[in-house]
A and B are shown apart, each in its own frame.
Chain A
């Protein structure tokens, strides 16, 4: 595929890996923030081709994984209501709530539909005026413009039976929380290229300066990732701490200005609970008062009281903060598999645990076979 295969080229990747090898002199820990990056690293086997000095820590940038359990329970409760059509991105359907997931609500007769865009959900609302259509609006800044646009359009068109269940989170406060934590040891960040494509990277410049930590805006293909790692390692070796852009084919410093405008038109910042991490101040979006009529939790106030506790076995919080790797979890691959996930990091194909389960068990198995 043109514009994609070039960034999966084996020879170019190997050349970059050689350059990394030539530059690195001591151990460094790099965090790739976004789940899509984790997925690509493990799928291509890039992690095993890096020099041993470099360790990658998988960050909290998987929207499915950080959505708190109680929001999933609220979505399940909404989907179980008669007269409600719950629409969602596909991979939220398998995330277990405390009792059910959305797939089992669907099997019991609930009307749960996968959409590829919230604008499709809005269309469903227009086609079903006698039903309440709720869109499960999860995601980082990447999905925020489209989700905001659906609400903006619903208001403009007077579609009154459309609401969204908002669970939006934003990246910079999460990075700040990680950097403020004493436990988390990250020397440099590979910033999430798709979030930067929307928001730009000026916010990250302040963080890099304040914490003296290099940040490299990085894409999602093996060549992009290898280039991002090389640039981060160079900064570390040279003692620099700047924001650099290794994904210039998609990202400019200012980001997507019309996209930001629609986000700010519809959403405002709020405190958000992150699954496994806890509440981070001003780390998410909620609907502005002007758009509160489209808030599913206002339309169906009965779901506001649903609160839930996490599984005691699951260590996804520590995994999302890069404190532990999935293979350090006693439940990994045993009680917890993609078929029987205990936590969201095992559910989403972008989740660190699922990515490890799918692509990362090789070394352990080879060791066991040898042993």
Chain B
């Protein structure tokens, strides 16, 4: 070829941008056509409803029921984004629903902000948004506002999700961390430590004979059943980070009461128990994503326990202990051999023991 055959740049047009990228690229956060495509083709079909369909900078709505509202927000940065028993998608829905439910609220609406890392496979994103959508539908909540951003590769861990939720608290319900009173009974809704051990098993590449799956689940249905049986529930907490030990310490502190419980009464899945023994962890310190702790008048405890056990989210519920007047702010476990010990907050990140 000779140099005379120059390319004629005047007739050059940019080829049409790829619509079907197999991965998230920076353009998906650009505010342009690619972002519109991503929202239009992936998010909207899975999450659509009339309020989201307003597509304004903000969504406007009227709460016809009126009354006291519960409002909460939570960010989900879990790694890995897929784990035994779920993904970051349903976790982001259930986590915020549970925070609303712990005020006794019936969840109504969610907002969702997705921060995507460049390079995230589009199929992974699709699976996660599908799981998100299914969890919201199962809980009868609508996603009415959203946002997506893309960050450079290396600046995120696949994706992060922040959800904010609004719920309606039924009249006459007054659930708050400071309401625990001496004489109250303490209940848990099921086995402790499943989520944390499930995550650790994939993160550390540990294989157990029986698979341990996350307990991620929405608890608002269980809470409504409990409230119907006992409108005077004093405290509710979902036992997430820090596990049961952290929740009991926070409640003992907030109410200035002592807490005592029987170590042998805590339900723990045998596989989780085994994994914790091996790793040198205490199941009381390990996170849950579908378990709550309730403090309520002793007289109602058996009735509430029966209601919980009849509900699929509370089949393994148990009364574990009681609120006492002595040692305010301190949580004490009665051990299997008849001794006692202080149950403290975990110091920081859970670190496996050497031997």
Q: Which residues of A contact B (CB under 8 A)?
A: 1, 4, 8-10, 13-14, 36, 42-49, 63-64, 89-94, 103, 114, 116, 138-139, 142-143, 194, 222, 337-339, 348-350, 357-362, 365-366, 369
Query: B residues 278-300 with Cβ under 8 Å of A?
Result: 279-280
Do residues A45 and B337 form an inter-chain contact, with CB atoms below 8 A? yes
Q: Which residues of B contact A (CB under 8 A)?
A: 204, 206, 270, 273-274, 277, 279-280, 326-328, 330, 332, 335-342, 344, 347-349, 351-355
Do residues A49 and B354 form an inter-chain contact, with CB atoms below 8 A? no
Contacts A114-B204, A339-B348, A358-B344 given; indicate if A44 touches B355 (C-beta within 8 A).
Answer: no
Do residues B337 and A48 form an inter-chain contact, with CB atoms below 8 A? no
Do residues B338 and A10 form an inter-chain contact, with CB atoms below 8 A? yes
State how many angstroms separate the Cβ of B319 from the closest Cβ of chain A. Answer: 19
- For A222, the chain B residues whose CB sits under 8 A away are 335-337
Contacts A1-B274, A339-B348, A365-B330 given; indicate if A44 touches B354 (C-beta within 8 A).
Answer: no
Shortest Cβ distance from A194 into B: residue: B355
Bound: A349/B204 CA distance, A: 20
- Residue picked from A10, A139, A359, A366, most chain B C-beta under 10 Å: A359
Bound: A45/B204 CA distance, A: 32
Q: Which 10 A-B pairs give the minimum distances between C-beta atoms?
A: A45-B339, A338-B347, A90-B351, A90-B352, A359-B341, A13-B337, A89-B354, A222-B337, A10-B337, A44-B335
11 A-B interface contacts by CB (under 8 A)? A1-B273, A8-B337, A10-B338, A44-B335, A63-B354, A116-B279, A139-B354, A222-B335, A358-B341, A362-B332, A369-B328
- For A194, the chain B residues whose CB sits under 8 A away are 355
- For A43, the chain B residues whose CB sits under 8 A away are 335, 341
The answer, among B270, B279, B341, B347, for a CB contact under 8 Å with A1, is B270
Bound: A152/B76 CA distance, A: 43
- For B328, the chain A residues whose CB sits under 8 A away are 369
State how many angstroms separate the Cβ of B289 from the closest Cβ of chain A. Answer: 23
Shortest Cβ distance from A94 into B: residue: B351
Do residues B340 and A48 form an inter-chain contact, with CB atoms below 8 A? yes
The answer, among A1, A9, A143, A366, for a CB contact under 8 Å with B327, is A366
State how many angstroms separate the Cβ of B270 from the closest Cβ of chain A. Answer: 6
- For B342, the chain A residues whose CB sits under 8 A away are 358-362, 365
- For B279, the chain A residues whose CB sits under 8 A away are 116
Bound: A13/B34 CA distance, A: 68
The answer, among A1, A46, A361, for a CB contact under 8 Å with B339, is A46
Contacts A8-B337, A116-B204 given; indicate if A366 touches B326 (C-beta within 8 A).
Answer: yes
Do residues A93 and B337 form an inter-chain contact, with CB atoms below 8 A? no
State how many angstroms separate the Cβ of B134 from the closest Cβ of chain A. Answer: 34
Do residues B336 and A114 form an inter-chain contact, with CB atoms below 8 A? no
Do residues B339 and A44 form an inter-chain contact, with CB atoms below 8 A? yes
- For B270, the chain A residues whose CB sits under 8 A away are 1
Do residues B354 and A14 form an inter-chain contact, with CB atoms below 8 A? no
The answer, among B327, B336, B353, B354, for a CB contact under 8 Å with A365, is B327
- For B327, the chain A residues whose CB sits under 8 A away are 362, 365-366, 369
The answer, among A47, A48, A90, for a CB contact under 8 Å with B353, is A90
Bound: A93/B206 CA distance, A: 20
Bound: A338/B351 CA distance, A: 13
- For B347, the chain A residues whose CB sits under 8 A away are 94, 337-339
Bound: A63/B336 CA distance, A: 28
Bound: A46/B327 CA distance, A: 21
Contacts A361-B342, A362-B341 given; indicate if A1 touches B277 (C-beta within 8 A).
Answer: yes
Do residues A143 and B354 form an inter-chain contact, with CB atoms below 8 A? yes
State how many angstroms separate the Cβ of B352 from the closest Cβ of chain A. Answer: 4
